[in-house]
Structure 1
Amino acid sequence: MAEDNNSINPMEQALDNFNQVQVGDVVEAEVLSIDDHQLVVGIDNSGVEGVVPARELSGSSKTDIHELAKVGDKLELLVMRRSNNDKEDGSFILSQRRIANRKKYEKMAQLQAEDATVTGQVTGTVKSGLLVDIDGLRGFVPASMISDHFVRDLKRFVGQELELKIIEVEAANNRFVLSHKEIAAAQKAEQEAKVFAELLPGDVLEAQVSRLTNFGAFIDLGGVDGLVHISQISHQHIAKPSDVLEPGQTVKVKVLDLDPERGRISLSIKATQPGPWEDAAAKIAPGDEVDGVVRRLTDFGAFIEVLPGVEGLLHVSQISWDRINKPADVLEVGQELHLKVLNLDVDQKRLGLSLKALIPDPHAKEETKEPEDDHYTLPEEERGFSLGDMVDADQFK
């Protein structure tokens, strides 16, 4: 005779129903009650109750649980684990949030298989990279995969949207790794091609200083950096670029050279500024008295800076009324002098100076007339003069 169903032990029936629910199952459940911290639900076709903590309903801890569910609602839930709480003995801990995440992971895995890219917003940083949000799913971009070059300041990416390539998707361990490196390289190549197509040597434009080094300044030309070598920053000598420039500063630059094959652009700041010699004629003239500083000494004279970037020659014959073998015998670098301008040729960048013209000739007799201003041809050397072109001292007397 068949056993009557009514004779089945209720405890055995409850245990059988309990064992029908397994960790990892996706189940339908009805909301039985709600408090501020959790939902109590009844799992359909099992007679088993479960608990859904508020944090497992929504990814946001600030959302009011009463706005997310009501008594009688039917929810699709993931069975996470059996409860360890004595007060909830026989029940399970369930999650709605992880159901949504599982579907998102599945979608990301499909996009990875298709070699598609996704767009994510950078929400924060850790020491080893960036945290990004992609449709509510948290991903990670290692620092080595942010760009095609080393990135020192990760915080500048916070709030930005980045196009990303999916590297690894592992829902079981909540592992979602992405990369911007390949995309950054492709974007850079595209920007370089555009910049090189639009620029020509001689072009003058305004741009911002992106970074400084000891040998020059890199200028952002719209995603591509051009280099202003330290020698092209100013007409005056500077010890290091940071003495006159800072990152973010807007400067006017002239394109000196383009090398598309090597991806290099040479720029100049000083080429956009008036040279010191252009203003020299307005500031000094033959016969003027000027102050200067000895910058260099040679066997035939001393080079004196009388204006920033403007040096003149004090020939050895114009230093003293007495005979001098070499300038270093009576002058030294850095010494300040008061001089007379003998002649000025702005086009040739030549300036003749005299020290003795401001000193009475101790050898002259009273009836001797004052000598007229000397006129002579200056020797060629760098900055307008040549070390190899020696001039007979007699023509300066």
Structure 2
Amino acid sequence: MAEDNNSANPMEQALNDFNQVQIGDIVNAEVLSVDDNQLIVGIDNSGVEGVVPLKELTSDRKADIHDLAKVGDQLELLVVRPSASDKEDGSFVLSKRRIENKKAYDKMNAIKDADETVTGKVTGTVKSGLLVDVDGLRGFIPASMISDHYVRDLTPFVGQELTLKVIEVNRSKNRLVLSHKEIAIAEKAAKQAEVFAKILPGDVIEAKVSRLTNFGAFIDLGGVDGLVHISQISYQHIDKPSDVLQPGQDVKVKVLDVDKERGRISLSIKATQPGPWESVAEKISVGDEIKGTIRRLTDFGAFVEVLPGVEGLIHVSQISWDRVNKPSDVLKVGQEVQVKVLNVDPEKHRLGLSIKALIDNPHASKKQKNEQTAEPTDYSLPDEERGFSVGDMIDADKLKK
């Protein structure tokens, strides 16, 4: 008579159940107990117990295992290896994290193939880029793929959630490379279209300085940068924008020009401020003796800043009683000089100055020394943005005539 299977030797039955569980199997298991560092689970339909260490439950080493599972929970697990009986409870070591890792990598491959995007949270920085968490996977964004322009300081990105494109997926090397550059370009184009649709020359806007260069300041107009050229920052002469501005500073700007085709917006800070010539007549009169600093030299004279943003001209004939061929022969930019005011015309932004009017003529008689020398008034200040004027292009001899 055949022996009933139900009456099989318990030891043989246990071995049969053990042999049913193979390395690499994905099994369902019930949590039997929860310790500080591991779960003890019973593998369904096998009679075999296993252990799930905390590191195989989650990649977060600071996680509390009691927050992740409780007795009675059903888990899908991967059979990793036989357990070391002297260190681990149960017959096998199982992993939940590796199953989720495989599913996550499969998902990233599918997203890459479909040319879709994912959302990742920036968890930290390294020298060459950003570290991000994407569905539990550790991803990397190279510095060159963070934005549409070079980003010097990466720390402001930490904690941000970014929309990303999947560039490379390699599960065997735990490699997931992502890019935000394409998204940044698309977002910028959308914001640019929105800004260009509503901004007009003449508008006055409250904004913030986004970054500085040697030639000007870029102003954030809501995701699109406009440029304040250095000549439009202040009526007063400045050597570099960082002398008077800093990133993040609130400023008021006036829109000078909008070039939609080239994607450029020209702005001015000084155009929102009172012009320096408005009060010149109250501060300077004909005959005054004042100090100034030479800012520019031309063939026909020297331009001297006597007040912030206010420049007057010392004509070449008013520099010295001796003949001067070129102002640069006796004067230099940055030099401080004492001058006498010969004429004041605030409406035309003209201020005539003289150095020699403060010096006795060594070649003249006593009578001649008491006579005033007239100063030519047919001149123009150089255009501040272009750095030259009509006066600069007129021959000095003709100008004297």
Q: Please say whether Structure 1 and Structure 2 have the same fold, judged by a TM-score greater than 0.5.
A: yes
CA deviation vs aligned residue, 1:261-289 (integer Å, no higher than 9, x gap): 22222223333334433332221011222
For residues 159-308 of structure 1, what are the structure 2 equivalents within 5 Å? 159-169=159-169, 174-295=174-295, 301-308=301-308
Residue 346 of structure 2 corresponds to residue 339 of structure 1: no
Instruction: Decide whether the 8 Å contact of 2:300 with 2:327 is kept in 1.
Output: no
Shift of 1:336: 4.1
Alignment partners' CA distance in 1, 2:167 and 2:222: 29
Alignment partners' CA distance in 1, 2:21 and 2:369: 124
Matched residue type, 1:120: G
Instruction: Decide whether the 8 Å contact of 1:343 with 1:375 is kept in 2.
Output: no
TM normalised by structure 2 equals: 0.80
Alignment partners' CA distance in 2, 1:63 and 1:121: 18
Matched residue type, 1:35: D
Residue 356 of structure 2 corresponds to residue 349 of structure 1: no
Instruction: Decide whether the 8 Å contact of 2:277 with 2:349 is kept in 1.
Output: yes
Alignment partners' CA distance in 2, 1:177 and 1:305: 57
Instruction: Decide whether the 8 Å contact of 1:210 with 1:220 is kept in 2.
Output: yes
Shift of 1:294: 4.5
Alignment partners' CA distance in 1, 2:316 and 2:34: 101
Residues 107, 316 of structure 1: alpha-carbon distance in 2 compared, 3 angstrom cutoff: closer
Shift of 1:64: 3.9
Instruction: Decide whether the 8 Å contact of 1:232 with 1:269 is kept in 2.
Output: yes
Alignment partners' CA distance in 1, 2:263 and 2:132: 31
1:77 alignment partner in structure 2: 77
Instruction: Decide whether the 8 Å contact of 1:58 with 1:96 is kept in 2.
Output: yes
Alignment partners' CA distance in 1, 2:173 and 2:318: 86
Instruction: Decide whether the 8 Å contact of 1:18 with 1:90 is kept in 2.
Output: no
1:152 alignment partner in structure 2: 152
Partner SS, residue 18 of structure 2: helix
Larger Rg: 1
Residues 134, 382 of structure 1: alpha-carbon distance in 2 compared, 3 angstrom cutoff: same
Instruction: Decide whether the 8 Å contact of 2:50 with 2:89 is kept in 1.
Output: no
1:117 alignment partner in structure 2: 117
CA deviation vs aligned residue, 1:207-263 (integer Å, no higher than 9, x gap): 222222222222222111222233333334433222222222222223232222222
Shift of 1:345: 1.4
2:30 alignment partner in structure 1: 30
Shift of 1:82: 2.0
Equivalent pairs: percent with the same residue?
68
CA deviation vs aligned residue, 1:109-162 (integer Å, no higher than 9, x gap): 555555443323222223343233345444333333322333332221111121
1:388 alignment partner in structure 2: 395
Matched residue type, 2:214: N
Alignment partners' CA distance in 2, 1:250 and 1:237: 21
Instruction: Decide whether the 8 Å contact of 2:294 with 2:304 is kept in 1.
Output: yes
Alignment partners' CA distance in 1, 2:222 and 2:399: 56
Alignment partners' CA distance in 2, 1:261 and 1:204: 22
Alignment partners' CA distance in 2, 1:65 and 1:103: 22
Matched residue type, 1:226: G
Partner SS, residue 287 of structure 2: coil
1:126 alignment partner in structure 2: 126
The alignment covers a number of residue pairs equal to 391
CA deviation vs aligned residue, 1:134-193 (integer Å, no higher than 9, x gap): 454443333333223333322211111212233455556554443322221111111111
Partner SS, residue 24 of structure 2: coil
Gaps of 5+ in 2: 383-388
Residues 65, 271 of structure 1: alpha-carbon distance in 2 compared, 3 angstrom cutoff: closer
Shift of 1:37: 1.9
2:386 alignment partner in structure 1: none
> More displaced, 264-273 or 86-95?
86-95
Matched residue type, 1:24: G
> More displaced, 262-271 or 128-137?
128-137
1:378 alignment partner in structure 2: 377
Matched residue type, 2:377: L
Residues 71, 238 of structure 1: alpha-carbon distance in 2 compared, 3 angstrom cutoff: closer
Instruction: Decide whether the 8 Å contact of 1:33 with 1:41 is kept in 2.
Output: yes
Partner SS, residue 139 of structure 1: strand
Instruction: Decide whether the 8 Å contact of 1:141 with 1:179 is kept in 2.
Output: yes
Residue 150 of structure 2 corresponds to residue 143 of structure 1: no
Residues 113, 355 of structure 1: alpha-carbon distance in 2 compared, 3 angstrom cutoff: closer
Alignment partners' CA distance in 2, 1:330 and 1:76: 89
Instruction: Decide whether the 8 Å contact of 1:207 with 1:250 is kept in 2.
Output: yes
Instruction: Decide whether the 8 Å contact of 1:302 with 1:327 is kept in 2.
Output: no
> More displaced, 11-20 or 194-203?
11-20
Partner SS, residue 187 of structure 1: helix
Matched residue type, 2:197: A
- RMSD over aligned Cα atoms: 3.7
1:19 alignment partner in structure 2: 19
